[in-house]
Amino acid sequence: MTIPRRVTLAATAHEPGVELPAIGQGTWFMGEGLAPRADEVRALQQGLERGLRLIDTAEMYGDGGAEEVVGEALAGRRDDAFLVSKVFPWNAGRDTAIAACEASLKRLGTDHLDLYLLHWPGGIPLDETLEAFERLRAAGKIRRFGVSNFDVDDMDALLATPGGNDCAVNQVLYHLGSRGIEHALRPWQRDHGMPLMAYCPLAQAGRLRRRLLDHPEVLAVAAERELTPAQLLLAWAIRPVDGRRGDARRDVIAIPKAVQPGHVSDNADALDVSLDEDALARLDAAFPAPTRKAPLDIV
C-alpha cells in the first residue's frame, strides 16, 4: 500500500483539517546577505511551483529579513502558500504577541498567517501566550497556532493550559544523526494526533550533528538507489513510521532550506522517494534509534 506523501493537520473548532506535502521550505539564514536576495526569492517561488507549498520563517531570521524575502516571493501569489512564522518567547505576552505578529504580517505583505508558532519555551506564562494567539485567531490574523522546541514536559504543560489542546504542531530539530525525539516526544505527539515539523533535516546544525552528507553508508545507500545524499536524508525524515497500534503513517513535515535551483529540485523530488526495508535497516545500523530519553536537541 502506498502511504500518501502528505501530512494532515487536524481540524479545529474554527478550521477544517488541512493536508500538506511532507516536505516544505525553510528560510533560516535567508535575508542576511549570504546569497543574493533575488536567488532566495526565486528559490522559494520554484519550490512553490514544485508543490512545496509550506514556507516556514520567523521574526528571528535575519531580524525579519527572511520574512521580507518570503513576502517578495509571495507577492501576487499568497494563496499558493501555507505560511508559517514564529514569535520570540519574550515577545509572546498578552499584548506583545499581537504587536509582534502584526510586524511579521507587515514584513510578509499579507493579512494572515496560516500557522503561528511560539519559537521556544520562555518566561512568559503559557496562558498569556495562548490568550494572545486566540485574539489573533479571532481577528483573522492567524488560522492556527503551534509551538517549537518543546519537549514532552513542555507539551504536557501546554495541554494543561486552557486552549492548549488546539496546538497544531511542534517544530523540533530532527535528522538521521539526531533521533532523540523518537524515544518519547514523537510517540507522545503520535498519541495526541499532533504532527512534527522537522527543522535542519539535512543535519545543518545541532548538538548531535554528524557529517551525514558524506557518511560512507549514506553515500552507498543513496548511490545504489540513484539518489543524492540529501534526497535520501529527506526521504528518511518523512518516512512512514508505525505507531503503537501498528498504524503506519507520515507525521513529519521536513523543512529544508535551499537557494540553488538544483537543491530545490532535489528536495521536491524527494517527495516521490520510498525507502525499502534494506535501506532503512542499514541506516538504522549506522545511526541507531535512541534507547533512552535524551535532552531535546536545539539550535
The set of catalytic residues is 61
Cα separation, 180 vs 7, whole angstroms: 21
Distances from the Cα of 280 to the Cα of 74, 109, 182, 218, angstroms: 37, 42, 15, 11
User: What pairing do the DSSP bridges indicate for beta strands 145-148 and 115-118?
Assistant: parallel
DSSP 8-state assignment for residue 295 = P
DSSP for 189-231, written as a single string? HHHTT--EEEESTT--S-TT---GGG-HHHHHHHHHTT--HHH
Distances from the Cα of 85 to the Cα of 59, 176, 185, angstroms: 7, 25, 22
Cα separation, 192 vs 208, whole angstroms: 27
Is the separation of the CB atoms in 257 and 34 below 8 Å?
no
* Amino acid in the structure at residue 7: V
Cα separation, 219 vs 70, whole angstroms: 33
